Chain A
Amino acid sequence: MKICVLVKEVPDAAVEKRIDSGSKRLDRSGEKNLNPFDTHAIEAAMQVKEGGAVDVDEVVAVTMGPESAFRALHKAVSLGADRSVHLTDEALVDSDCCATGYALAKVLEQESPDLVLLGQQSDDGECYTMGAIVADHLKMPSLTQVIKMDVEEGKLRCERQAEYGYDTVEVNLPAVISVGDAINEPRYPSLKAIMGAKKKQLDTKSIGDVGIEADRVGTGGSRTSVLAVNPPPAKQAGEIIEDEDTNETVEKIVAWLDERKLLV
């Protein structure tokens, strides 16, 4: 069995994110990190591999992004992936969700995995949708926001929270599964794994290498266009108390609540 994990490099959560006023796209310069949700997807892949219920030949990390995105792949490999694939091409710049999903599906088609895993959302943008987009292109069944996944020969048993409580769904392989952060506690990479990451195979692909039609990606292939970027509606900033002396802090909280008649 072969598992592909889709990963993405995102701005570090601790760094302020901003929109570039010229391109109206997210400014992706500055500190970057592997999307935190993707570390759960890699961990899920590793647990399948180590779990013994099925034989996993390899775990392949796949990303699409600018040249710098190889760092996300190094991180993914240090967390256990066997090798990685980096789709990068000038033609892909400014692809929207629709175009990105198509492009990723073309890379995956070439890998023909039995299971595609990804984080349910990225820290910086497209929420929840990428798994289902990729799945439809690959003609595979798909579930998103999965928090428990058991593997048997040829199928998965998945749990997730939906509108009316927890659903348990059986999915035949091959399949695309996006995972929530409750699914596992990702491991920390060992120093040895971090040092070894650069030595593992990393294939860089251009759109031509995987048969992507240039007019279906990038600005020209995108089906949405950003018309305007505005500041959010102004909200008065709340009062902030830094707790130094807890007795004093508590007094302040109680006074604040009392003033608003919340302690009657």
Chain B
Amino acid sequence: MSGILTYALHYENEVNKNSLGAVSEAARLAKEIGGEAHAVVVGEDISDELCQSLGAYGASKVYRAHAPDGLAQPVVDVMAKLISDHGYSYALFGGGLLGFEIGAGLTARLNAGVTMEVTEVKAVAGKLVAVRPILQDSAVVDSGYVSEPGIIIGRLNAFEADASSNGASAQVEDVEVELSEWSTKATMVTRGEQRGAEVNIEDADTLVAGGRGLGKADGFSELCEPLAEALGGAVAATRAVVDAGWYSYSAQIGQTGKTVAPKLYLAAGISGAIQHKVGMQAAENIVAINKDPNAPIFEFSDLGVVGDLNKIIPKLTEAVKAKRGG
């Protein structure tokens, strides 16, 4: 069977948006190469409704396996067995931490080719070709697979969720898979802990985002917050500074954070790594202030300012206040 198997991540009885994108993309591609798109859901307490709901995104069958939630290796066991038993040609993942880990595990288990950070998948003569930007997006590689299965791991937001098969319900099949001994050696202690205050950045028209270039946690209160206030916007942050405890997790942009598309995105001291870029590149206007003229963010900003943000931002804040009559 030349089908495509995807993994659908779920949490609190809801399927992850990037997983819905992966299921939709698998359904679209399966049609082109002549096969079906099936999905795998793994967890401890998964409802029939949650599984069936993937039908709207084009999955004709959903396998449900009982195993610990939120860990990759049990899913590798489940998917490896399904691929071996049913001969899927490809396994496809949306952008996310677990997708990377599961895809990588399958690569080893099945001696399969893997392509990651994929932004587009093409069907060429019944086979899939993964398109992947490399080297900070300075080149784009078309990658083919010399054997089946091929593992495709998407970049965050690369695949759009498409619920146009609305009304279709996926067939649900329970599968029992014996976990590998090493897959039982990791135990979730706490999951989904929120750190820092709850802030809403997704509805803001203007975001002032701070990165490691701020130099210290106080950079947020001293520079970003006053400027955001003057502009009538909110403050966002990169993963590096959130992990460092400088700012709230709920304000984080990018991979494992939020995806935003404000009218103005002002990046202060942000180098512009891909994992950040994927969360904010849809912003209408991107302004970057960074002292490093080689920072990748200048390659996709509309206005780049090379300079010391400690000098520029206080004056900019005053000037914006004066202009907006605040």
Could you list which residues of chain A lie within 8 angstroms of chain B, going by C-beta atoms?
14, 17-19, 24, 26, 96-98, 101-102, 105, 124-137, 139-145, 147, 157, 160-172, 175, 180-182, 216, 222-233, 235, 237-243, 246-247, 249-251, 253-254, 256-258, 260, 262-264
Binds A, one of B24-32, B160-168, B216-224, B311-319: B311-319
Q: Please tell me if B190 contacts chain A, counting CB pairs below 8 Å.
A: yes
Knowing A127-B117, A162-B256, A163-B256, the reply to whether A262 touches B315 (Cβ < 8 A) is no
Given the complex, which residues of B lie within 8 Å of A231, measured CB to CB?
139-140
Q: A133-B105, A163-B11, A171-B187 are in contact. List 7 more A-B contacts (CB 8 A).
A: A97-B107, A98-B107, A164-B192, A166-B195, A167-B191, A168-B189, A238-B302
Given the complex, which residues of B lie within 8 Å of A251, measured CB to CB?
319
Given the complex, which residues of A lie within 8 Å of B231, measured CB to CB?
262-263
Q: How many residues of B contact A (CB 8 A)?
A: 95
> Separation in Å of the A256 CB from the closest CB of chain B?
5
Q: Evaluate contact between B305 and A253: CB separation under 8 angstroms.
A: yes
Contact of B144 among A17, A225, A258, A260 (CB under 8 A): A225
> Separation in Å of the B235 CB from the closest CB of chain A?
17
Q: Evaluate contact between B316 and A253: CB separation under 8 angstroms.
A: yes
Q: Evaluate contact between B105 and A257: CB separation under 8 angstroms.
A: no
Q: Evaluate contact between A224 and B114: CB separation under 8 angstroms.
A: yes
Q: Evaluate contact between A232 and B302: CB separation under 8 angstroms.
A: no
Tell me the nearest residue of chain A to B264, going by C-beta: A262
Knowing A228-B141, A230-B140, the reply to whether A166 touches B182 (Cβ < 8 A) is no
Q: Evaluate contact between B319 and A250: CB separation under 8 angstroms.
A: yes
Given the complex, which residues of A lie within 8 Å of B85, measured CB to CB?
none
Binds A, one of B35-43, B49-57, B58-66, B95-103: B95-103
Q: Please tell me if B276 contacts chain A, counting CB pairs below 8 Å.
A: no
Q: Evaluate contact between A228 and B142: CB separation under 8 angstroms.
A: yes
Q: Evaluate contact between A128 and B104: CB separation under 8 angstroms.
A: yes
Interface of B is mostly: mixed
Contact of B189 among A141, A157, A226, A227 (CB under 8 A): A157
Q: Please tell me if B13 contacts chain A, counting CB pairs below 8 Å.
A: no
Contact of B315 among A126, A226, A246 (CB under 8 A): A246
- List B residues 181-195 near A (Cβ within 8 Å): 181-183, 185-195
Per the bound structure, the CA–CA distance linking A165 and B198 in Å amounts to: 12
Tell me the nearest residue of chain A to B241, going by C-beta: A182
Contact of B135 among A17, A181, A235 (CB under 8 A): A17
| A–B Cβ pairs within 8 angstroms, 21 of them | A17-B138, A133-B105, A141-B182, A164-B192, A165-B194, A166-B194, A167-B188, A167-B192, A167-B193, A170-B187, A180-B243, A182-B243, A223-B145, A225-B145, A226-B144, A227-B143, A228-B142, A230-B142, A233-B140, A243-B312, A262-B264
Q: Mark B236-250, 1 if CB is under 8 A from A, else 0.
A: 000110111000010
> Separation in Å of the B258 CB from the closest CB of chain A?
11
Q: Evaluate contact between B319 and A254: CB separation under 8 angstroms.
A: yes
Per the bound structure, the CA–CA distance linking A180 and B255 in Å amounts to: 13
Q: Please tell me if B137 contacts chain A, counting CB pairs below 8 Å.
A: yes
Knowing A163-B98, A172-B186, the reply to whether A240 touches B298 (Cβ < 8 A) is yes
Given the complex, which residues of A lie within 8 Å of B102, measured CB to CB?
132
Contact of A170 among B189, B242, B256 (CB under 8 A): B189
